[in-house]
Amino acid sequence: MKKLVDIKINGKSYLMPEGITILEACKRAGIHIPTLCYLEGITEGGHCGICVVEVKGARNLQRACITKIKEGMEIYTDTPLVRKARKTIYELTLANHKSTCPACQKEEPCEIRKIAKNIGLSEVEVELLFKEHEKDRSIINRDQTKCIECRRCVNTCEKIQGINTLIVDGKGFNSRISPPYNLPLKNTPCVFCGQCVVRCPTGALTEKDDTEKVLDALQDPNKYVVVSFAPAVRASIGELFGLPPGTLVIGKLVAALRKLGFDKVFDVNYGADLTIVEEANELIERIKFRKTLPMFTSCCPAWVKFVEEFYPEMIPNLSTCKSPQAMLGAVIKNFLPELENIPKDKIVHVTIMPCTAKKYEILRPDIMGDIDYVLTVRELAKMIKIAGIDLLSLEDEEEDIPFGEYSGAAAIFGVTGGVMEAALRTAVEWLTGETFSNLDFVPVRGMKNIRIAEIDIKDLKLKVAVAHTLKAAQEVLEKIKNKELDIQFLEVMACPGGCIGGGGQPIPTTEEILRKRAEALYTLDKNKEIRKSHENPFIKFLYEKFLGNYGSEKAHKLLHAKYSHKPNWDDIFNKSYEEICKEVLKY
């Protein structure tokens, strides 16, 4: 128990634990202090100065986010001096930001607009200070005219992913948040995880907007537009329609997609089941034939790109299985024509993903053409709203078969540890040749960044690890490299919490929200009658009708991928200055 100290906030006395910040103390006292640059656990804060308060005896205003309380401290959060300072700082901030609010891609609630309301700012009187920049458009768009340099993205890229793509370039007013040399993101090792996008308070970082193209396809009478949505989407989309975090939305989502005009509504969970049977099969083969171990999961495109870039020597460890999205894409484009009697070239396949990196994944050579567009959860919600569909009042509908049926194992794919658990459910049965009723592999669950578990069933001993965030993954890979960790199977998801915390998810994602989204998926799994991927009848159907055996030649051709080394920072910095200049965005 920490020592309590006596402090006063706005004249009222409080006992608060020593060592907490003024911000935290005020929060506990029910007093809201606006913040901008501060992000718990990621940025220390101290940059923006929006949270300044008066502390009796201090020469200057103090930043609530970084100032710790002390015995006898007297804090005033709403004096004329505080209000004036906040307003002036915020005016300068907005002058530094090109406001194009009505046409900005940033969804409501836009954080910087919210803060403006919060501190009562109604006018920017100072001269505009933003600089015009060329936009960097790729999977993630950067618009520096909107960037206010709060550095949340810089900290995210460094501390969560350890990639350091976005850095502070230069000093003072002439500094810029960008990749080194202002290279376009697509020419950097950026893995497009989108964690910077979900933390950007402005419209400076946004995902590539594909809604227009999807709407065009839906209007085109010559197209047969199929949609599939990812495991984690159902656990979060409700938030964008006012439902509490952790509300599962499936039936209404299916209905809304049909209302939008999609001809078939499938489920990426089906792809997840397919991934598991192929991946479990691969794991068993690797173990049996003493091939490269540990095997790494390959569902997360950001993680795959990361290995290709920074650990090319470990590419053989990556499972050759394509991701659920890619497998489903291949299956739909190749087998739906026969099943539904539609020419292949008429089919447009759209996926709804909690992820920005999935937009990158569909451009990979062995996936190209199988999926036409990827929309994030945010983009889909926007489309539903634009179409005037009242999601909450819709009657539940069911996904189409055969690619809409899934097991409980697939349902948990969207949460860290989920792929591991799903794979174990199948692999353990196949390895031991027995059927088990207790399917919960609890040690691989949870939110700890790195979890190591040993499976000891009958003669079978398996040691596995689960990591989320690429920073944690890096730690595991280094341990494997240095032979400090001996495992057979590793699951990595790049985003905190897995896909439930993905870069395409509703904003904000907090730890509390993550926990609720995870709970929703585990509940879905629990309530499913079929909880193992290999028991999904439509998976069996697919192999019987089209693919043959697990890991067959045909399955390999369609469902497995090849990897290759991709440029990392070493490769980029091996170029000459002049070579780099040719790639650089001007300004």
Partner 1 sequence: MIDFKVIGTPILLRNIKKIDPESIEAYIETGGYEALKKALKKSPDELLEEVKKSELRGRGGAGFPTGIKFEIAKNQKETPKFVVVNAEEGEPGTFKDRIILENDPHLVIEGAILAAYIIGANYGYIAIRPDYTLAIKRLEKAIQDAYKYGFLGDNILGSNFSFHLKIKRGAGAYICGEETALLEMIEGKRGEPRKKPPFPPQKGLYGKPTVVNNVETLANLPFIIYYGSEEFKKYGVEGSYGTKLFCMSGDVSWKGIIEIPFGVKLSEIISLAGGVKGGKLKAVILGGVSGSLVKYDEVDIEVDYHSLGRIQAGPGCGTIIVLNDKRDIVDVCENIMRFFKDESCGKCFPCRLGTEASYRIIKKIKEKKANLHDLFNLERICKTMKNASFCGLGQTAPNIILQSLQKFKDEWLSHIS
Partner 2 sequence: MKEKFFQKSLIEDLLDEQNKHPQKYLPPKTLKKIAKKHKRPIPQVYSVASFYPRLSLKPRAKYIIRVCENLACHMEGAEKVIEAIKEFLNIDFGETTKDGLFYLEKSSCLGLCSLAPVILINDDIHGNLTPEKVKEILKNYIEKEKSSKN
574 is a contact residue toward partner 2 (CB under 8 A):
yes
Quick one: what does residue 46 bind among partner 1, partner 2, none, with the CB cut-off 5 to 8 Å set by partner type? partner 1
Residue 282 Cα distances to 234, 435, 450, 454, 479, angstroms: 29, 20, 24, 19, 23
Q: Candidates 10-18, 119-127, 202-210, 562-570: pick the segment binding partner 1 (CB under 8 A).
A: 119-127
Residues 164-193 that bind partner 1 (CB under 8 A): 168, 170-173, 175
From CA 409, how far away is CA 525, in angstroms rounded?
Answer: 7
168 is a contact residue toward partner 2 (CB under 8 A):
yes
Q: Which two tokens stand for residue 281?
A: 């099969």
Output 91 or 169, the one with its CB closest to partner 2.
169
Question: What angle in degrees, to the nearest 10, is found between the helix axes of 324-340 and 268-288?
Answer: 120
170 is a contact residue toward partner 2 (CB under 8 A):
yes
Quick one: what does residue 454 bind among partner 1, partner 2, none, with the CB cut-off 5 to 8 Å set by partner type? none
The one among 8, 76, 88, 568 contacting partner 1 by CB under 8 A: 88
Contact (Cβ atoms closer than 8 angstroms) between residue 536 and residue 275: no
Q: Candidates 104-112, 124-132, 182-190, 385-393: pick the segment binding partner 1 (CB under 8 A).
A: 124-132
CA atoms within 13 A on the CB side of 342: 19
81 is a contact residue toward partner 1 (CB under 8 A):
yes
Of 368, 367, 325, give the one whose Cα is nearest residue 504: 325
201 is a contact residue toward partner 1 (CB under 8 A):
no
Residues 35-64 that bind partner 1 (CB under 8 A): 44, 46-50, 52, 60-61, 63
Output 169 or 366, the one with its CB closest to partner 2.
169
Minimum Å distance from CB 21 to partner 2? 27
Output 92 or 530, the one with its CB closest to partner 1.
92
Output 355 or 572, the one with its CB closest to partner 2.
572
Helix, strand or coil, per DSSP, at residue 265 = strand
From CA 496, how far away is CA 514, in angstroms rounded?
Answer: 9
Minimum Å distance from CB 363 to partner 2? 24
Give the burial string for 275-297 (b: 16+ CB within 10 Å, else e): bbbbbbbbbbebbeeeeebbbbb
E strands, 539-587, are none
Of 279, 337, 298, 270, give the one whose Cα is nearest residue 556: 279
- In sequence order, the 6+-apart residues with CB closer than 8 A to the CB of 134 are 585, 586, 587
* CB count in 10 Å sphere of residue 345: 11
Minimum Å distance from CB 84 to partner 1? 7
135 is a contact residue toward partner 1 (CB under 8 A):
no
DSSP state of 545: I
Q: Candidates 78-86, 342-350, 395-403, 553-561: pick the segment binding partner 1 (CB under 8 A).
A: 78-86
Minimum Å distance from CB 187 to partner 2? 13
Q: Say how far residue 412 (Cα) sits from the centre of its chain.
A: 15
The one among 42, 119, 129, 215 contacting partner 1 by CB under 8 A: 129
From CA 450, how far away is CA 444, in angstroms rounded?
Answer: 9
From CA 152, how far away is CA 38, in angstroms rounded?
Answer: 8
Minimum Å distance from CB 183 to partner 2? 10
Q: Which two tokens stand for residue 34?
A: 């606006």
436 is a contact residue toward partner 2 (CB under 8 A):
no
Binding site for partner 2 (CB under 8 A): 158, 162, 164-165, 167-171, 175, 179-181, 569-570, 572-577, 580
The residue ranges that bind partner 1 (CB under 8 A) are: 44, 46-50, 52, 60-61, 63, 66, 68, 81, 84-85, 88-89, 92-93, 95-96, 125-127, 129, 148-149, 168, 170-173, 175
